[in-house]
A and B are shown apart, each in its own frame.
Chain A
Amino acid sequence: MITDKDVEYVAWLARLELTPEEKKRFTRQLGQVLEHAEKIKSLDTAEVEPTSHVVPLSNVMREDVVEPGLTQEEALSNAPRREGGYFAVPRIV
């Protein structure tokens, strides 16, 4: 059911480069995952609320107060490349 084309597409979405061996292996493994999901899907869940979070919490909010963050120097300290206070990233257009 899942083909190596699907795996290629998902890898492209995640910007992953796969070797032909990896592609084969992941196609098999993802196929097994999906098979398992099919099994779960056979259950009747009409009366069950979809779960999005596992902790029984809601409405966690903070007050709108400004607190000091990082300095420009700190913010940029991990940047592989910077220019005049900016992060320099590979050109996108």
Chain B
Amino acid sequence: MMGDYEAVIGLEIHAELKTRSKMFCSCDASFGGEPNTKTCPVCLGLPGVLPVLNRRAVELAVRLALALNCRIAERCIFHRKNYFYPDMPKNYQISQYDLPLGIGGYLELETDDGPFRVGITRVHMEEDTGKTVHASESGRIHGAEYSLEDFNRAGVPLLEIVTEPDIRTPEQARLFMQELKSIMEHLEVSDCKMEEGSLRCDANVSLRPRGSSELGVKTEVKNMNSFRALYRALEYEIGRQREILEGGGRLVQETRHWDADANVTTPLRTKEYAYDYRYFPEPDLVPLELGRDFVEKVRSTLSELPAERRRRFREDYRLPAHDAALLSSSKAMGDYFESAVAAGAPPKAVSNWMMGEISAYLNARGLEIGDLRVTPERLAELIDLVEKGTVSVTMAKAVLEDMLESGRPPREVVEEKGMAQISDRAEIERLVDEVLEDNPKVVEDYRKGKEKALGFLVGQVMRRTRGRANPQLVNEILAERLGEGG
């Protein structure tokens, strides 16, 4: 597919940690709010302040580093990364440099071609920057000469995860990100809301002749704000590089910006000089020497990882691999499934409803499972109504549709709409007799061997009951009656 070239991709991921307060000060770290209402002298970079590290942030960082099979550094320190950009009022970002928190891990992905391992170079802690609103985006005409700064996010704890260049295709990159997101959700390390910027991803991409072990000239692709954007940006960038190489051209090492509307990557205006951040140890923060006890204590809080959950779904609930993968793709999805099963519904039935009607509903409206008005217990009740034959599967779909909109219990919907299935033998016999009496010609056709006529008669019974007659009973009784006369 790639001709003589293969792509070499490494990812750099930023995730905001799920803490209450910021990384180095006690300001509120929650998303949103009026601009500049969650700041203090520390995160505004005023003179004479002292940053103090958030213990929870360290615990969450260690939690993820362990889940990614990293070694936790016995000693790590913070560095100042110096740059001039108004989103960081200190003119440096507190980050980690040559002594990061977690080193040398990996994440194993399940692909159609078997397990696939992506090396994790490092996991380190840093602080997020403020948000810049450009005058043109703010909708204000006034201030075109100005950019606007909101420092509510400045100082929010951030984790940077850097992978080895082990990824070869856009699909693998997407899988990696999905799995990483799922892990962070399961461990409650981050909210992972790409649209709110709490999960972001950049990629280093280069091409090389297949079979070669040398790396080609790479570009860094930024601004991929969804899994879909990541996939398409990589696909585009690989194509662009291949075209240049095949045409005998040379690539330039540069940073490129993914433009999701135009479907292209474009070079960012490059500076004359390469970035020179002049990292140096942050003198205001003392080293971290976490020690075995701290690390083991965090390890003991590690909850089930998505890979384990998938295995458990397959083995304990006897779900097909496909179901297990989808249902454990997000923590909320897996939790919903397990709650419904705990409420007594058969696992496969829950899975079918979730992957069918419920997923379709969520996708069509751009909602997430947490937005559902139908609780897992109510879904279990509905499934129970089907199992007991109170409603047919077709009816249940209509009931669910109502429940999804109204959030009402299934019994209430069934009763109100008179949807309960008619399984009363005497009543169906009466209906069948009526239909037979009204359609002597069709009955005759059937007896002459026209099989299709039976379907018509079943349809007539269903019509008279607005679909509520138990179809098995209708077929059974019709067969009896027609058999009698034959």
Instruction: Give A contacts to B, CB under 8 Å.
Output: 9, 12-13, 15, 52-53, 55, 57-67, 69-72, 75-76, 81, 83-93
CB<8 Å pairs between A and B, sample of 21: A52-B287, A60-B52, A61-B52, A64-B55, A64-B56, A65-B20, A65-B26, A66-B26, A69-B27, A69-B28, A70-B44, A72-B34, A75-B37, A83-B140, A84-B140, A85-B36, A85-B37, A87-B86, A87-B148, A88-B143, A89-B146
* 0 or 1 for each of B20-48: is its CB under 8 Å from A? (1 = yes): 11000111110000111111110110000
Instruction: Give the nearest-CB partner of A74 in chain B.
Output: B39
Q: Tell me the bound Cα distance from A75 to B37 in angstroms.
A: 8
Closest to B84 in A: A15
A59 to B286 alpha-carbon distance, docked (Å): 7
> Are A58's CB and B287's CB within 8 A?
yes
In the complex, chain A residues whose CB is within 8 Å of the CB of B278: 13
Q: Known contacts A53-B77, A69-B26, A86-B36; is A62 also within 8 Å of B132 by CB?
A: no
Contact A86 B283 (CB under 8 A): no
CB contact between A64 and one of B21, B39, B150 (< 8 Å): that residue: B21
Would you call B57 and A64 a contact (CB within 8 A)?
yes
Instruction: Report, nearest first, the 7 A-B pairs whose CB atoms are least far apart.
Output: A64-B56, A69-B40, A86-B148, A67-B26, A52-B281, A61-B55, A87-B149
Report yes or no: A91 in contact with B289, Cβ–Cβ below 8 A: no
- A85 and B39 contacting across the interface, CB-CB below 8 Å: no
Tell me whether A58 and B34 are in contact (CB under 8 A). Answer: no
A71 to B44, CA, bound (A): 12
Cα(A14)–Cα(B265), bound, Å: 31
CB contact between B38 and one of A9, A15, A64, A69 (< 8 Å): that residue = A69
One of B26, B28, B286 near A55 (C-beta < 8 A): B286
Residues in B with CB closer than 8 Å to A72 are 34-37
| Nearest-CB residue, chain B, relative to A55 | B286
Across the interface, which residues of B come within 8 angstroms of A75, CB to CB? 36-37, 39, 44, 151
Q: Mark B64-82, 1 if CB is under 8 A from A, else 0.
A: 0000000000010100001
A53 touches B36 (CB 8 A): no
Q: Is the CB of A91 within 8 A of B283?
A: no
By secondary structure, the B interface counts as loop
B178 at interface (Cβ–Cβ under 8 A)?
no
- Cα–Cα, bound, A65→B19 (Å): 9
Quote the shortest CB–CB distance from B141 to chain A (angstroms): 12
Q: B150–A86 contact, CB under 8 A?
A: yes
Other contacts beyond A13-B82, A66-B29, A67-B27: 16, CB < 8 A:
A13-B278, A58-B289, A59-B290, A60-B286, A62-B26, A65-B20, A65-B26, A66-B27, A69-B25, A71-B37, A72-B35, A84-B140, A85-B150, A86-B36, A91-B144, A91-B147
Distance, CA A75 to CA B281, complexed state (A): 28
A92 to B149, CA, bound (A): 11
| A66–B273 touching, CB < 8 Å | no
Residues of A within 8 A of B133 (CB): 86
Task: Report whether A87 and B36 are in contact in the complex, using a CB–CB cutoff of 8 Å.
Answer: yes
B54 engages A59 (CB within 8 Å): no
Chain A nearest CB, measured from B235 CB (Å): 27
A45 CA to B35 CA in the complex, in Å?
A: 50
- A65: chain B residues within 8 A (beta carbon): 20-21, 26
Instruction: Verify B288–A83 contact, CB threshold 8 A.
Output: no
| Contact residue among B44, B140, B149, B287 (Cβ-Cβ distance under 8 Å from A89) | B149
Min C-beta distance of A60 to chain B, whole Å: 5
Residue among A53, A59, A89 making CB contact with B147, cutoff 8 Å: A89
CA distance A92 to B129 in the complex (A): 15
Task: Tell whether, in the assembled complex, residue A61 and residue B58 are in contact, meaning their CB atoms are under 8 Å apart.
Answer: yes
A71 and B150 CA atoms in complex are apart in Å by 13
Please name all residues of chain B whose beta carbon is closer than 8 Å to the beta carbon of A9 when the two chains form the complex. Answer: 273
B276 CB, nearest partner CB in chain A, Å: 6
Residue B145 at the A interface, CB < 8 A? yes
**Chain B residues with CB below 8 A from A58, complex form:** 75, 286-289
Alpha-carbon gap, A93 to B268, bound state (A): 11
Closest to A67 in B: B26
Chain B proximity of A69: nearest CB distance (Å): 3
**Would you call B55 and A69 a contact (CB within 8 A)?**
no
CB distance from A30 to the nearest CB of B (A): 14
Decide: A69 near B84, CB < 8 A? Known: A61-B54, A62-B52, A93-B147. Answer: no
A86 pairs with B289, CB closer than 8 A: no
Which residues 87-142 of B sit at the A interface, judged by CB distance below 8 A? 132-135, 140, 142
Q: Which residues of B contact A63 (CB under 8 A)?
A: 55-56
B53 at the interface (CB under 8 A from A): yes
Interchain CA distance A48-B170 in the complex, whole Å = 46
Given A59-B290, A61-B58, A66-B26, also A88-B39 (CB < 8 A): no
Assembly CA distance A91 to B146 (angstroms): 4
B283 and A53 contact, CB distance less than 8 A = yes
CA distance A91 to B133 in the complex (A): 10
Instruction: Give the distance to chain A from B266, nearest Cβ to Cβ, in Å.
Output: 14
Closest CB in chain B relative to A27 CB, distance in Å:
19
Write out the residue numbers on chain B whose beta carbons fall within 8 Å of the beta carbon of A12: 273
B44 partner residues in chain A, CB cutoff 8 A: 70, 75
Q: Give the residue of A59, A62, A70, A71 whose beta carbon is less than 8 angstroms from that of B288.
A: A59
Residues of B close to A70: CB separation below 8 A: 39-41, 44
What is the bound-complex CA distance between A59 and B37, given in angstroms? 30
**Is B317 located at the chain interface by the 8 A CB criterion?**
no
